[in-house]
């Protein structure tokens, strides 16, 4: 489906990577950033030097800081901003778009104001009759930008929209799988960030490969318990948006959340660790919200709770890990 106009809202590493990928497929892409200086620099240099240096923009990729220009003639709007900005961006575009234009987001997280799922925020601001979808899965921005093989999931309850997006996105090096489990895919995308902080902490403390493997495995159990309690499907958590994204984020230092955890495990303070990352650490933003969701549905999430204790300053990484290891023995499930 070549030459379809797409609006991408967000020009960080992930938004830029998706803009590069889709424009290389032949789509016309307008990529919006609220930063006028950044947009001007990208227009002049034809590259996003801050987030993805060296990846030259195709002629069909048009950066802009004008939101009306970004939305002009778009067949699809793709949102790729941090979760803390998701509500703000939807509120910005609501009076500017028709009720029929569909929305897909590649944001992983929860609503910053209400702690709800992003699809709930989208329906609250833009209405429930519009077609929505979420893009998730194990996909580091840099690897997508340079064309390395990637597999991802697009979830939507609108099967015709999902199949349309399959035509937009799918290629020989970016394989798309379809799902109807929007809640499960969103849960996977938010919980894995907190678990990546936990595994980063353990690795920063040099607790070894055994501990890392245990945290990933028991973290998957936490994710699955919460997901099932909130209406997700079991298969989602053993697939790309669950286990796949969890393994990626917990084991590779391209992950901001893992690097943040590494810094904490090495003894650095939270604000220093976050400053060194230089980008949004979604797991830090959403950890408390995830724990509150779990408490509402009476789901135990001890690893998530340990991360929250560290972020609150109520436990050191050593104390939190000792508490995890000293929990009463139980049957694995």
Which residue matches tokens 């959340």? 257
The two three-digit tokens of residue 333, written as one number: 């499930």
Contacts of 273 by beta carbon, 8 Å cutoff, 6+ apart: 260, 263, 264
Task: Report helix, strand or coil for 45.
Answer: helix
Which residue matches tokens 């489906």? 1
Q: What phi, psi does 47 have (nearest 5°)?
A: -160, 150
User: What residue spans of the chain are helical by DSSP H?
Assistant: 13-24, 36-45, 67-71, 83-93, 118-126, 141-145, 159-169, 182-204, 209-229, 234-237, 245-251, 256-265, 270-277, 282-296, 302-312, 317-325
Please state which of the ranges 213-227, 230-244, 282-296, 314-328 shows the lowest mean pLDDT. Answer: 314-328
**pTM of the predicted model as reported, rounded to 2 decimal places:** 0.95
Which residue matches tokens 């060194």? 276
> Which of the residues are catalytic?
192
Residue count (the chain): 333
Instruction: Round to whole Å and give the CA distance between 243 and 138.
Output: 9
Question: pLDDT by residue (tens digit) across 204-234?
Answer: 999 999 999 999 999 999 999 999 999 999 9
Calculate what percentage of the chain has a pLDDT beyond 90: 93
Question: pLDDT by residue (tens digit) across 1-58?
Answer: 456 799 999 999 999 999 999 999 999 999 999 999 999 999 999 999 999 999 999 9
Instruction: Round to whole Å and give the CA distance between 311 and 159.
Output: 40
CA dihedral of residues 185, 73, 21, 143 (deg, nearest 10)? -50
Under DSSP, the state recorded for 58 is P
Angle at 97 between CA 92 and CA 61, to 5 degrees: 85
The confidence score (pLDDT) of residue 3 equals 66
Which residue matches tokens 């904490």? 264
The confidence score (pLDDT) of residue 306 equals 97
Question: pLDDT by residue (tens digit) across 180-211?
Answer: 999 999 999 999 999 999 999 999 999 999 99
pLDDT, mean of residues 104-110: 97
Instruction: Round to whole Å and give the CA distance between 67 and 86.
Output: 15
pLDDT of 268 above 90:
yes
The confidence score (pLDDT) of residue 133 equals 98
- Could you give the domains of the chain? 5-180 (3.40.50.720), 190-325 (1.10.1040.10)
pLDDT, mean of residues 276-302: 94
Phi-psi domain of 208 (left: phi exceeds 0; alpha: psi -120 through 50; beta: other): left
Question: pLDDT by residue (tens digit) across 80-91?
Answer: 999 999 999 999
């Amino acid at each position: 489906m070549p030459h379809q106009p797409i609006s991408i809202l967000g020009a960080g590493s992930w938004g830029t990577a998706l803009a590069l990928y889709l424009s290389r497929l032949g789509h016309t892409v307008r990529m919006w950033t609220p930063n006028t200086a950044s947009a001007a620099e990208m227009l002049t240099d034809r590259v996003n030097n801050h987030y993805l240096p060296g990846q030259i923009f195709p002629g069909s990729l048009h950066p802009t800081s004008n939101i009306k220009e970004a939305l002009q003639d778009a067949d699809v709007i793709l949102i790729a901003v941090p979760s803390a900005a998701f509500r703000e961006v939807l509120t910005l575009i609501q009076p500017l778009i028709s009720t029929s234009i569909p929305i897909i987001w590649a944001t992983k997280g929860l609503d910053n104001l209400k702690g709800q799922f992003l699809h709930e925020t989208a329906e609250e601001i833009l209405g429930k009759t519009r077609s929505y979808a979420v893009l998730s899965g194990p996909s580091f921005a840099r690897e997508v930008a340079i064309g390395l093989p990637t597999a991802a999931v697009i979830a939507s309850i609108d099967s015709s929209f999902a199949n349309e997006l399959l035509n937009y996105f799918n290629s020989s090096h970016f394989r798309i799988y379809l799902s109807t489990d929007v809640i499960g895919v969103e849960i996977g995308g938010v919980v894995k960030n907190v678990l990546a902080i936990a595994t980063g902490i353990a690795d920063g403390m040099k607790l070894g490969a055994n501990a890392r493997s245990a945290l990933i495995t028991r973290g998957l159990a936490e994710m699955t318990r919460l997901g099932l309690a909130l209406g997700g499907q079991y298969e989602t958590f053993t697939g790309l948006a669950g286990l796949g994204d969890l393994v990626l984020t917990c084991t590779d230092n391209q992950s901001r959340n893992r690097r943040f955890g590494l810094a904490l495990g090495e003894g650095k303070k939270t604000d220093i660790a976050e400053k060194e990352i230089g980008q949004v650490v979604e797991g830090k933003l959403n950890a408390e919200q995830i724990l509150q969701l779990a408490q509402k549905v009476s789901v135990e999430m001890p690893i998530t709770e340990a991360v929250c204790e560290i972020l609150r300053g109520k436990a050191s990484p050593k104390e939190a890990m000792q508490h995890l290891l000293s929990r009463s023995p139980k049957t694995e499930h």
